[in-house]
Structure 1
Amino acid sequence: MKLTRTLLAVCLCLTAMTGFAQKAKDNPFFRFATKAEAQMLITDIDEYTNNWNQFDINARLQNNEGRKSQLLTLAMSCVQNWSEQEKKQITTAFNAITAATKRQKLTLNYPDEIILVKTSMQEEGGASAYTRKNWIAISEDVLNKISAAQLQILVAHELFHILTRYDLNFKKSVYQTIGFTVLDREIIFPTDIMEKRISNPDISRYDSYAPFTVKGTIQNYTMMTYTDRPYTGGDIFDYMKIGLIPLNDHFVPVQESGKTVIVPIEQAEDFYEKIGKNTNYVINPEEVLADNFAYMLTEKKDLPNPEVISRIREVLKK
């Protein structure tokens, strides 16, 4: 996924005793966290956990009066040790991604190591996987149910988040393939939006925008997942809405009568014309592109908008 260092050359090997993949030059080096290490990683107060609002905490705890300390404790209790069979599954997926990257002659730039965490995923509402910093959390349930091909897509999707987090230049280039511009700074949101935003661990920076046509007028918008009501019980995904927030010429969210404007994506006349229809996971350009990146690496056929894949591939060959 990157335009700097040439990455992924030869095949990864797994050392059965340790569960470590051996690092060849420019290959993504991954290792499996023990339960103790995973507990430290998952309870770290980083950009993600530091920005939880009360809704984030309540919805993940499924508690109307949740506390951050309770959510961190829950997260710590969710991590588990890897079995040897699970290590083999993950290593097979990495091997396939490595081979595809070499075959397609792509240029990527990974961090020095990628850490893999196994969790029950209760801390993230039953998601399949997510990332923070340079580590990927994967659900035990998913590992027991999906095929090898599906696991390759899942791992490739999560690797995209690692790459965009690790290298801003890569992020800028790949976002342009679907018409989004990435700023050198984050967009500062007013308090009313910060209280409504549903946090996503895969999005470490809210820094992108694209021009969309709403009611016949073209304006720059940034994407946001949010809730329009307080948490009263149930699943976090039941509350999730996808919105476009208009930006002024200084990339500041537009407000009316003291409230930040949010436009449903359905009102953007050219939304799918811009991002394509290869995926239904359209909550943010980060997720749209992660799916397309995964489809590119796994060479998925019969996509409605193969030109999106072609544009990404061309960027990664530069």
Structure 2
Amino acid sequence: MRLSHWILSVLLCCISFTASAQKKISYRFATRAEAQMLITDIDNFTNRLNSFDINLRLNKENGRKSELLRLAMNETLNWSENEKKKITAAFKSLQAKIDKQKLKIKYPQEVILVKTSMKEEMNVAAYTRKNWIALGEKYINESTPESLEYLLAHEMFHLLTRSNKDFKKSVYSVIGFNVTDRELFFPIDIIEKRISNPDIEMYDSYAEFTINGQKQKCSMMIYSAIPFSAGKTLSDYLSVGLIPLNDSLIPLQENGQTVIYSIDQAEDFYQKIGKNTEYIINPEEILADNFAYLVTQKKNLPNPEIIQKIAAILK
């Protein structure tokens, strides 16, 4: 190879590496028409909604999935120019902080932003599905630049773990969770009372906790211990449980019912997940908060080592 060709090849490699290392967040704002198609898609989330999920979101008994999808479709909205400017400024600030820390993040090829009233998802601030983020109109208008940056970073994390299994495995290991190559199987008694979270596309993780003095593999699950009753809110139902698994990663049962431990029964729960966040319903949400704290450069955390380990993965 001629020297000039070799130099050119080296330069091209450097350019290619730099472009990859400095990849920016690519996003766009969905029109209401596109949002209606996205939000009514039968994907992993909508396909797995149980009767409790549907009743909870509709706040009525005997609700139907078609009613929920119709509600979701009707609650989509068009973006205003002011909202676009506010979100664009937040993304720009986030990208500057990511670049400053030299974090190498492999973003999805495209992120779509959907605007909704959030009535379809119990008035939360935001949620994700596939490669899109739904943002609530009320939260957008009332948020500060700092809180909007945090929210976007938190939601972006869900897209990253969804699109990159290797990243998911690495980052989950920071708090002691293993990610399996297939989704875990749960018996029908758990499936019927599981509270679905659109940010958790797959239940494919477990960690080893000390329960009653013994090590036990467990998967985390959000569920309701009481039946649905109109008029209650999500907080009235929400329980967080640890479901013990055998060596084949099958949930343990007693008297035909799946065993569920409370997180308080795990003696080393907080030793593993830390105390940086109170949003401890699932490893996905625990890590999304920690990731958001990293990229927004939050200081004075109780467990900064968690942030440092995530940063190491991204460097």
What is the match of residue 164 of structure 1? Answer: 161
Q: Given the alignment of the two structures, is residue 128 of structure 1 paired with residue 98 of structure 2, yes or no?
A: no
Mark the runs of 5 or more structure 1 residues left unpaired by the alignment. Answer: 10-25
Provide the rounded CA distance (Å) in 2 between the counterparts of 1:5 and 1:223: 39
Alignment correspondent of 1:296: 294
Q: What is the CA–CA distance in structure 2 between the aligned matches of 1:93 and 1:35, rounded to whole Å?
A: 22
2:221 is the counterpart of 1:240? no
1:144 aligns with 2:109: no
- The amino acid across from 1:264 in the alignment is S
In structure 2, stretches of 5+ residues that fail to align are 1-16
2:271 is aligned with what amino acid?
A: E
Partner of 2:216: 219
Q: Distance in 2 between matches of 1:231 and 1:6?
A: 51
Matches within 5 A, 1:174-189: 174-189=171-186
Aligned-residue RMSD, C-alpha: 1.3
Aligned length: 298
1:96 CA displacement: 1.5
Q: Which has the higher helix share?
A: 2
Work out whether 1:39 is the aligned partner of 2:36: yes
**8 A contact 1:224–1:242 mirrored in 2:** yes
Quick one: distance in 1 between partners of 2:245 and 2:197? 21
Query: Within 5 Å, which residues of 2 pair with 1:271-310?
Result: 271-310=269-308
Determine if the alignment matches structure 1 residue 206 to structure 2 residue 194. Answer: no
- Between structure 1 and structure 2, the one with the greater Rg is 2
| Aligned residue in 1 for 2:24 | 27
Report deviation, 1:6: 7.0
Match of 2:247 in 1: 249
- What is the aligned partner in structure 1 of residue 260 from structure 2? 262
In the alignment, the residues of structure 1 paired with residue 123 and residue 149 of structure 2 have an alpha-carbon distance, to the nearest angstrom, of 19
How far apart in 2 are the matches of 1:88 and 1:143? 11
Q: Deviations over 1:15-67 (max 9, x none)?
A: xxxxxxxxxxx212100000000000000000000000000000000001100
1:117–1:138 Cα contact (<8 Å) kept: yes
Q: Distance in 2 between matches of 1:6 and 1:265?
A: 44
Report deviation, 1:146: 1.4
**TM-score (ref. length: structure 2):** 0.93
Percent of residue pairs bearing the same amino acid type: 58
Distance 1:256 1:5 in 2: 56
Q: Equivalent of 2:192, from 192, 195, 207?
A: 195
Instruction: Tell me the TM-score normalised to structure 1 length.
Output: 0.92
